[in-house]
Amino acid sequence: MATDPEGLWRVDRQIREAREAGELDNLPGEGQPLAGLDDPPDEMWWVKAKLRREYLSFVPDAIAIRRELEALLAALPGLPEAKARELLVALDARIRKMNAMVTSGPPTTVAPLDVETLLARSRK
């Protein structure tokens, strides 16, 4: 790295110039302690921070499909039979595909659906 005539590293000079120009004033978090400084070490801290900052979430496929199944079963009684059948058949295809392949995260414990039995139960 090169120094300038004053003996400062280039980056130090850039920081000094930015400070003098006021470019470092009123930054978010100014005067606040660094978040997570006292937390135990976590290798995935940056991933978790990115997910929080971007309002994203990650749920493993096995859990996501379980949640989707629960939501669909709860909604079945209010759906027309043709729509319910369409949704059950589509979800069953995804469950069968997931059960046939290796996925990251927890294993899927969702069995293939018996569409006719589920439709009959939802109509009672």
Nearest to 101 by CA among 65, 49, 69: 65
Measured in degrees and rounded to the nearest 5, phi and psi for residue 113 equal: -90, 145
Mean pLDDT split into 10-residue runs, the chain, 124 residues: 70 91 90 84 88 88 92 94 95 93 80 92 82
Collapsing DSSP to helix, strand or coil, 9 comes out as: strand
Please tell me the predicted confidence (pLDDT) of residue 39.
Answer: 83
**Residue 55 CA from chain centroid, whole number:** 8
Please tell me the predicted confidence (pLDDT) of residue 80.
Answer: 94
For residue 69, count other CB atoms closer than 10 A to its CB. 19
Please tell me the predicted confidence (pLDDT) of residue 123.
Answer: 82
Q: Which residues pair with 108 in a beta bridge?
A: none
Please tell me the predicted confidence (pLDDT) of residue 1.
Answer: 55
Measured in degrees and rounded to the nearest 5, phi and psi for residue 101 equal: -125, 160
Please tell me the predicted confidence (pLDDT) of residue 72.
Answer: 96
Please tell me the predicted confidence (pLDDT) of residue 81.
Answer: 92
Please tell me the predicted confidence (pLDDT) of residue 4.
Answer: 67
What's the rounded Cα separation, in Å, for the pair 90 and 92? 5
Q: What is the DSSP letter of 3?
A: B
For residue 73, what is the enclosing H or E element? helix 61-75
- Cβ pair 115, 92 in contact under 8 A: yes
Residue extents of the structural domains in the chain: 10-53, 61-123
